[in-house]
Chain A
Amino acid sequence: MILHTVNKSAFDNRALGDCLRVVATNDAVLLIENGVYGALSSSQSEPAHVESILELSAAGTRFYVLQADCQARGLTDSALLPAVQITDDAGFVALAAEASAIQSWY
């Protein structure tokens, strides 16, 4: 399992799309910093990302957002895609330890 971190908003940067194109079904994707905007369920302008997340999630890829980064930006739990789990710093560390390697998309 590879842990992919993405820290850029899907609305102004291709990091999330670039990540989703090569992510494997047993991988995990953690959205951090401005990356958390990619987890919004009401994303009208970037439907491709939402579709990819839903497809990959159905196939087994796990998706996470960092709680502190959501909270800082006013993103409530209910605004996020149900496929995305909320984790904290300890969860980030646990994912990194579980992964065989970590790839950062920034």
Chain B
Amino acid sequence: MFRHAPYGNALAREGLEAALACGAMGAKASLLYINEGVWQLLEPQDSSAIDCKNQAAMASALPLYDIDEIWVDEASLQQRNLTATDINAGKIIDSSRVQALFATSKNILSF
């Protein structure tokens, strides 16, 4: 579960590293981008001038690790005036499906 914007603090990056580790170990993981976390999906990102790893480039490795259940909270996009065309990954879901995702998860790692 990602609910913080990238770059401003390390949660987004370190959460993504945890997700990649799930993939590397063959653990089934679903990712949910919600609230400020949806900013992580905005393209294009160029973080070279702020001396940070490009979060979008890191996230683009997710499918290579067989992490393809990527969900994006619809209301969080709407609150930020974002649409499906603004984001680079994920399927958009409504609040009831967010609830269902929580309810069917064995464990939730909150970043």
**In-complex A–B contact (CB below 8 Å):** yes
Question: Which one of B18-26, B52-60, B94-102 is at the interface?
Answer: B94-102
Q: Name which residue of chain B comes closest to A104, CB basis.
A: B110
Q: Are B106 and A22 in contact (CB under 8 A)?
A: no
Contact (Cβ within 8 A) A105 B110: yes
Query: With the chains together, A101 CA to B103 CA distance in Å?
Result: 8
In whole angstroms, what is the CA distance A22 to B71 when docked? 14
Contact across chains for B3 and A22 when beta carbons are under 8 A apart:
no
Contacts of A100 in B (CB 8 A): 103, 105
Interface size on B, residues (CB 8 A): 16
Q: How large is the interface on A (under 10, 10 to 19, 20 to 34, 35 or more residues)?
A: 10 to 19
Residues of A contacting B102 in the complex (Cβ-Cβ under 8 angstroms): 2, 22, 24, 101, 103
Q: Tell me the B62-80 residues at the A interface (CB within 8 Å).
A: 73, 75
Does B107 count as interface, using CB distance less than 8 angstroms? Answer: yes
Chain A, Cβ-Cβ closest to B102:
A2
B27 at interface by CB-CB < 8 Å: no
Picked from B3, B34, B35, B106, the residue with its CB within 8 Å of the CB of A101 is B106
Q: In chain B, what residue has the closest Cβ to A4?
A: B102
Question: Per-residue CB proximity of A25-52 to B under 8 Å, as 1/0?
Answer: 0000000000000000000000000000
Q: Chain A interface (Cβ within 8 Å of chain B)?
A: 2, 14, 18, 21-24, 100-106
Besides the known contacts A100-B105, A101-B107, A105-B110, 10 further A-B residue pairs in the complex with CB atoms under 8 A apart: A2-B103, A2-B108, A21-B75, A22-B98, A22-B102, A24-B102, A100-B103, A101-B108, A103-B1, A106-B110
